Amino acid sequence: MVIDQHFGFIAFSWAAGIIGFAGIAFWIWRDRKALDTQLAELEGQGVDVSRAKEMS
Amino acid sequence: MGILDYANPTRVMRFSRAVKPWFLGLGLITLAVGLYGAFVTAPADYQQGETIRIMYLHVPMAWLAMMAYSMMALSAIGTLGFKHPMADVSAKALAPIGATFTAICLITGSLWGKPMWNTWWVWDARLTSVLILFLVYLGIIALWQAIEEPIKAGKVTAIITLVGAINLPIIKFSVDWWYTLHQPASVFRVDGPTIYPAMLYPLLICAAGFTLVFFYLHFAAMENELKRRRIRAMQMRAARRVAPEQPTLPQGSTA
Amino acid sequence: MSAFRALIARDVRLATRVGGGALTGTLFFLAVIVTIPFGVGPDLNLLSRIGPAIMWIGALLATLIGLERLFQSDKDDGALDLLRLTDSPVSSFVIAKVIAHWLGSSLPLVLVTPLLSLLLALEPRAILALTATLAVGTPALSFLGAVGAALAVTLRRGALLMAVIILPFSIPVLIFGVAATRAAIVEPDPFWPPFALLTATSLIYAVIGTLGAAATLKIGDG
């Protein structure tokens, strides 16, 4: 690939792709963390979490 | 072993955890190969020059945006027609992922359009219908957030998903029906692709890589949703245990 | 069949009474058409060029806003619950309600269009095309809005959300309607292809809208 005058457009496009993928992956990961925290809280309250634990 | 065997959440979770890393790993490897092809072995385009490198991201994103919606529509049929318990979990997980791909498609398309057609946007059939697809995705995500009860949310979003499904053939065929600025189909055609093999293969490999990563994301999101529902069920059960006894009337009173 | 017609007749009467939706919708339409020239400027040439679009957008907004409460009275008086409990065909109910709404609210818009077109300096050919496209295209909006109305009555909150979800689907109607009208003004563009597409869209939306609204109503508050 040659670096020509359109390099900026190409770079920004692929950056948008990377940011998009990273963004959705991060969002899913953060959701997972929040759910695990909720699970830990429920466990702390003495709720039976064994069925949920077999899911995580 | 049919699709109904995957009606059991625990089973789905176990399958997902086993299979997820493979999708991610294979996806990244495939992408690495595809990107090498896209940037190194594939030639620059005769007319567009180096900006053709954007195609290897823009086109797979467009395909995946439509595939994600199609999967949502199939899940919707599963929910409404067959009452499959996992269908709405799948659908809910797909919405944000599909929306992200559509957004990347629109952004990269705009960045590709500026050097190629000298405009960031044009209201032609293909661009307009993809923008509508994006808005529909956002609407469906908003619907999921707006309805508290999961079963009801699943049914309502399923209906809206199917209503919006009419957009898919319009996106696909708009460039053939109307002579517009966006270029006509050059890969999925009845007569076969019209694109150079040296560009076609890296494109297909990149698409495959992105698709595998997409499946990884879908499974990860489905796991979250299953966990969320399980937690909700536990919270409701716990709340019921804590709720005070109903006060009883003293003996001898009439009510 | 007579129940169907009775429902239509009742709803039309309700809509055209004072306080019903018909007058409000038409006044809103009028308000939009009168306000935009103040923003755009008095250049008659410009106004006649964007006139069809302004009329269409006004009709779109007036119709969609009026449609949210399509099923509200039925929810309030228990008719929806009755519908869900018995095996009544919900689709017929939806069609009757939409027809009544169109007769009561959208038809006045169509009838008032030629008058308002004069405010935008549209020529006779444009006025005719515009009225025809609105007559054929507003049913599409009505059936589409029925889905939004069904959502509004089924969900506990987020009435604004309904407008957001429904609006993207109204774009093709808008595109074809304005395209057909512009084609009538600007030779050599043919009028009939976009007009035919508009008609097709109305028919398709009639089916999808009825099925979607009926399915949503059946879910109910549950």
What would the pLDDT profile of B17-69 be if each residue is shown by its tens digit? 999 999 999 999 999 999 999 999 988 888 888 899 999 999 999 999 999 99
Which of B93-102, B153-162, C172-181 is predicted with the least confidence, judged by mean pLDDT?
A: C172-181
Chain centroid to CA C28: how far? 13
Q: What is the pLDDT of residue B197?
A: 85
CB-nearest to B135 from C161, C168, C172 is C168
- Residue B78 pLDDT greater than 50, yes or no: yes
Comparing alpha-carbon positions, the chain B residue that sits nearest to A29 is: B220
- Compute the average pLDDT of residues A8-29: 95
- Compute the average pLDDT of residues B92-108: 97
Q: Kindly state the percentage of chain A with pLDDT values over 70.
A: 80
Q: List, in order, residues 6 or more apart from C78 with CB less than 8 Å away.
A: none
B164-211 pLDDT, tens digit each: 998 888 887 776 666 556 666 677 766 677 788 888 999 999 999 999
Is C216 in Cβ contact with B132 (below 8 Å)? no
Give ipTM to 2 decimals. 0.87
CB-nearest to B217 from A24, A45, A56 is A24
Q: Is the pLDDT higher at B99 or at B190?
A: B99
- Residue B1 pLDDT greater than 50, yes or no: no
Structure-token match 């949310």, residue found: B153
Which of A39-53, B24-38, B135-149 is predicted with the least confidence, judged by mean pLDDT?
A: A39-53
Q: Is the pLDDT higher at C158 or at B22?
A: B22
* Chains A and C contact (Cβ–Cβ under 8 Å for 3 or more pairs): no
Mean pLDDT across chain A, nearest whole number? Answer: 85
pTM here is: 0.84
C124, C121, C82: which is closest to C218 by C-alpha? C82
Is C161 in Cβ contact with B146 (below 8 Å)? yes
Helix (H, G, I), strand (E, B) or coil at C11: helix
Cα-Cα-Cα-Cα dihedral sign, residues B25, B26, B29, B30: negative
Residue of A12, A28, A45 to mutate when probing chain B, most B C-beta within 10 A = A28
Interface of B with A in 102-141 (CB under 8 A): 103-104, 107-108, 111-112, 114-115
C56-67 pLDDT, tens digit each: 999 998 888 778
Residue A47 phi, psi (nearest 5): -75, 145
Is A28 in Cβ contact with B221 (below 8 Å)? yes
Q: Quick check: A50 contacting B, CB < 8 Å?
A: no
Distance in angstroms (rounded) separating the CA atoms of residues B67 and C49: 40
Is C204 in Cβ contact with B146 (below 8 Å)? no
Is B139 in Cβ contact with C161 (below 8 Å)? yes
* Chains A and B contact (Cβ–Cβ under 8 Å for 3 or more pairs): yes
Residue of B57, B63, B114 to mutate when probing chain A, most A C-beta within 10 A = B57
Residue of B126, B160, B167 to mutate when probing chain C, most C C-beta within 10 A = B160
Mean pLDDT across chain B, nearest whole number? Answer: 87
Q: Is the pLDDT higher at B93 or at C77?
A: B93
The DSSP symbol for B193 reads -
Q: What is the pLDDT of residue B32?
A: 96
- Residue A3 pLDDT greater than 80, yes or no: yes
Residue C124 sits at the vertex; the CA angle it makes with C118 and C128, to the nearest 5 degrees, is: 100
Distance in angstroms (rounded) separating the CA atoms of residues B91 and B99: 12
